Chains A and B, each alone.
Chain A
Amino acid sequence: MQLTYIDWLILAAYFVFVLGIGAALKRHTRTSADFFQAGRSLPAWVCGLAFLSANLGAQEVIGMAASGAKYGISTSHFYWIGAIPAMVFVGIFMMPFYYGSRARSVPEYLRLRFDEKTRAFNAISFAAMTVFSSGISLYALARLIQALHLFDGPFQRLGLDPSWVFHFGILLSALVVLAYIFLGGLSSAIYNEVVQFFLIVAGLLPLVWLGLQNVGGWTGLQARLDPGYVHSWAGMGSAHTNRLGVEWFGLAMGLGFVLSFGYWCTDFLVVQRAMAADSMNAARRTPIIAAFPKMLFPFVVILPGLIAVALPAPHPAEPGHPAAVSAQIPAGAGLIPAKLDATGQPLRDLDGKPVLDYDLAIPKMLLHYFPTGLLGLGLTALLASFMSGMAGNVTAFNTVWTYDIYQAYLRKEAPDAHYLWMGRMATVFGILLSVAAAYMANRFNNIMDMLQLVFAFVNAPLFATFLLGMFWKRATGHGAFAGLLGGTAAAAVHHALSLPAGAVAGIKGGWLGLVHSYPSEMAQNFWTAIYAWTVCFAVTIAVSLFTRARPQQELAGLVYSLTPPPAETGLLWYQRPALLAAAVLAATVVLNIVFW
C-alpha cells in the first residue's frame, strides 16, 4: 500500500497547524510563568483535554490496543477501575493543595509540605524518567514508521537507503515538538494536545466503526472470540481463571489503588495541565472533565485490538496486502503477525507457540481498512498521539529542571528572563537527551527495560507519601523521605524474589532467589506496587512519630485539616466538581456492569 498525494496533504496540514500554534503563541510568552505554567490562565475544558492527551502517547494508543488483543476487554480495568477513580480523587481532594499552595510543580509541593531532600529525590528521579519515556516514545514512533513500509517508496525515489526512515522519523518528530514548545512553552504544548486529542479520535473512530461493521457489532465480536476475551470481571475470582493472571484483590489494590492513584495523582506530567487552569474551580474540574472521554477511550483503543484478533487472517494473495506483510501471517492470530527472528522465522516461546507482535494491532488495522485519504488521517492520528505524549514529557521536564533543580540548587537568584531562557534551553537539551535515549533503546533493549524497572520502583510508593502529606498533618519530612527510600527498596526486594510463570531469573525478577511465582507479569507488577506502597506508608508513619512535627501554621493550605474546603456555592451545575465527579463515577459503574 502506497501513500498518495491526499495522504501527504493531510499530514502536511497537521504539521502546518501544530507549528502555527507554536508561532502564534510566541508573542504571548514573555515571562517564565507564561512559559512553564501557561500563565495559569486556561479554561477547564482546554486543560481537561490536554490532561487526557498528554497521557495518550505511544504506550497508551499502541499499548492499549496491544493489551486488548492479548488480554481482551479486561484491559478496560486500566480505565474503569484504574484511571477514572484516581482522576476523580485528584480533582476533588488533591487539587486544592496543588493549586492552592501556588506550588509551580509537584516536587515544589513536596518542598513546601515536607523538606528539601524529599523534593530533590522526587525532582531528580522524575526528570530522568521523563527524558527516558519521551525517548522510548520517539523510538516506538520511528520503529512503527519503519515497520509500516509506507515511507520506503519516497525514500527510494530520493536515492536514500530505507534504513534512513528510522532516523528521519526520530529527527522529524523531535524537531517539530522542539519547535512548538520552544516557541510557546506549556501553552503551546497544551493547545496542541487539545488539537491532537481531536485528531486521535478522528483518526481512530472510523477504524472502530468499520471493524465493528465487519465483525457484526459487539455481539458478533462476542461470538467470534473466546469468552475470556469479552468479559472484564467474570473470572477475576482467581488468578488462574482470567487472561490477566490476576485475582480481584491484586487488581483492585495494585492497579486500582496504588498504580493508578500513584500515576494520576502525583505524576507532574498530568498534574501540570491542571495547574495551568485559570482558577481553583477550573483546576479541580480539569481531571474530572478529562475523566468523561477517558471513560469511553476503551472503545477507541482497546476494541481495535479485539477486532484485530477476531478477524480471519488475510490470505497472502489478497489484493492490497503486500507480500512482505502477509508472509508472516500464517503463524499469527487474526491480523496480528508473529514476531520474527533474525532469519525471518516466527519466534516461538517455551511451549512452541509463536510470539505475537501485538503492538502492530492498530497499524495493521489501519492498513487493513483505510483507503488512501483516510489512511493519511489515521497516520496523522498516530503521529499526533506520539507527539502529545512526548511534548507532555518535555514540558514536565523543562519545568522540573528549571524550577526544582536549576533554580533550587544551581542558581537561586536570577532575573525572571534568565529562567525563561533556561526553560527554552532545557527544552533543547531535554529533546537531545530524548533522541539519545531513543537510540539507546534501539541498541540496548535491556538497558531500557532495566531503567523502566528502576523508575517503577521509585514511583510505586509515591502515592503513600502524598496521601499522608495531604491528609495527615503529623507526617514529617524525615518520615516522608525514609518512607520513599523504604518503599523503593521494598519494590526492588519483592521484584528480586519473585518471578512471573515461565520467565527466567534476570530482568523479569528473581535475581536474589525465588520465593514466589506469579501467574503473569502483570500480577507481579501489581504486587510489587502493593508491597512498595504498604512499606512506604508504614515507614512514613513510624518515622514521623519519632521526629518533630512542623508547626501547624506553616502547614496551612498544604494539609486537609488545616485548609478551608474550596467553596462550591454560586456555581452552575456543570461547574460543580462534586456533581461532575458523581456523574462520571456512576457512568463508570454502569460500564463495569455492562461489560462484566
Chain B
Amino acid sequence: MALDIRLPIGLLFTALGLLLAVFGSFSDPALYRRSLGINVNLLWGLALLGFGIIMLGLARRGARAKTN
C-alpha cells in the first residue's frame, strides 16, 4: 500500500469533528429547535473526533509495525 489510508481518514475526521464540536459549543441553542432540541453539532462532532483519533492511532501503530 503506497499510503496508509487510515492516516488521511484520521486527519479528515479529526478536523471535521473539531470543527463541529467547537462550533456546537459556541452556537446559539435556538439553532437546535429543528434537531429536537439536541445539540447534534457538539455530540456528533465529538463522535467524529473520537473516530478520527482511533484511525490516527491505528495508522501510527501500522507505521511502527512497518519500521520494526
The yes or no answer to B65 lying at the interface (CB within 8 A) is no
Asked whether, in the complex, the Cβ of B16 is within 8 Å of the Cβ of A191, the reply is no
Binding site secondary structure of chain B: helix
The yes or no answer to B59 lying at the interface (CB within 8 A) is no
Asked whether, in the complex, the Cβ of B9 is within 8 Å of the Cβ of A195, the reply is yes
Interchain CB contact (< 8 A) of A198 among B1, B13, B19: B13
Selected interface stretch from A38-46, A289-297, A466-474, A576-584: A38-46
Asked whether, in the complex, the Cβ of B2 is within 8 Å of the Cβ of A25, the reply is yes
Asked whether, in the complex, the Cβ of A28 is within 8 Å of the Cβ of B2, the reply is yes
Asked whether, in the complex, the Cβ of A6 is within 8 Å of the Cβ of B40, the reply is no
Given contacts A369-B34, A369-B35, A370-B34, contact A191 B5 (CB under 8 A): yes
Given contacts A214-B36, A370-B40, contact A43 B19 (CB under 8 A): no
Minimum CB–CB distance from B63 to chain A (whole Å) comes to 15
Counting residue pairs across A and B whose Cβ atoms lie within 8 Å, the total is 93
Asked whether, in the complex, the Cβ of A43 is within 8 Å of the Cβ of B40, the reply is no
Which residues does chain B contribute within 8 Å of A320, judged by CB atoms?
33-34
Asked whether, in the complex, the Cβ of B27 is within 8 Å of the Cβ of A373, the reply is yes
A interface footprint on B41-56 (CB within 8 Å = 1, 0 otherwise): 1001100100100000
Alpha-carbon distance A395/B20, docked complex (angstroms): 33
Asked whether, in the complex, the Cβ of B9 is within 8 Å of the Cβ of A194, the reply is yes
Given contacts A187-B2, A191-B3, A373-B27, contact A20 B40 (CB under 8 A): no
Asked whether, in the complex, the Cβ of A371 is within 8 Å of the Cβ of B3, the reply is no
Alpha-carbon distance A13/B19, docked complex (angstroms): 10
Given contacts A42-B1, A191-B3, contact A374 B44 (CB under 8 A): yes
Number of B interface residues in the complex (CB < 8 A): 29
Which residues does chain B contribute within 8 Å of A442, judged by CB atoms?
none
Minimum CB–CB distance from A193 to chain B (whole Å) comes to 10
The yes or no answer to A202 lying at the interface (CB within 8 A) is yes
Minimum CB–CB distance from B53 to chain A (whole Å) comes to 14
Given contacts A13-B16, A374-B41, contact A202 B48 (CB under 8 A): yes
Alpha-carbon distance A249/B9, docked complex (angstroms): 43
Interface residues of B in 1-43 (CB under 8 A from A): 1-3, 5, 8-9, 11-13, 15-16, 19-20, 23-24, 27, 31-36, 38, 40-41
Which residues does chain B contribute within 8 Å of A21, judged by CB atoms?
3, 8
The yes or no answer to A517 lying at the interface (CB within 8 A) is no
27 A-B Cβ contacts within 8 A? A6-B19, A10-B19, A13-B15, A14-B12, A17-B8, A17-B11, A20-B8, A21-B3, A28-B3, A39-B2, A191-B5, A195-B5, A198-B13, A202-B48, A206-B40, A210-B40, A213-B38, A319-B33, A320-B34, A369-B35, A370-B35, A371-B41, A373-B19, A373-B41, A374-B40, A374-B41, A377-B20
The residues of A with any CB-CB pair to B shorter than 8 Å are: 6, 9-10, 13-14, 17, 20-21, 24-25, 28, 39, 41-43, 46, 187, 191, 194-195, 198, 202, 206, 210, 213-214, 278, 319-320, 368-374, 377
Q: Which 10 residue pairs of A and B lie closest in terms of their CB atoms, listed nearest first?
A: A28-B2, A373-B41, A371-B31, A17-B12, A6-B23, A373-B23, A206-B44, A191-B5, A374-B40, A13-B15
The residues of B with any CB-CB pair to A shorter than 8 Å are: 1-3, 5, 8-9, 11-13, 15-16, 19-20, 23-24, 27, 31-36, 38, 40-41, 44-45, 48, 51
Given A278-B1, A373-B41, 7 more pairs with CB closer than 8 A: A6-B20, A13-B19, A210-B36, A320-B34, A373-B27, A373-B31, A373-B45
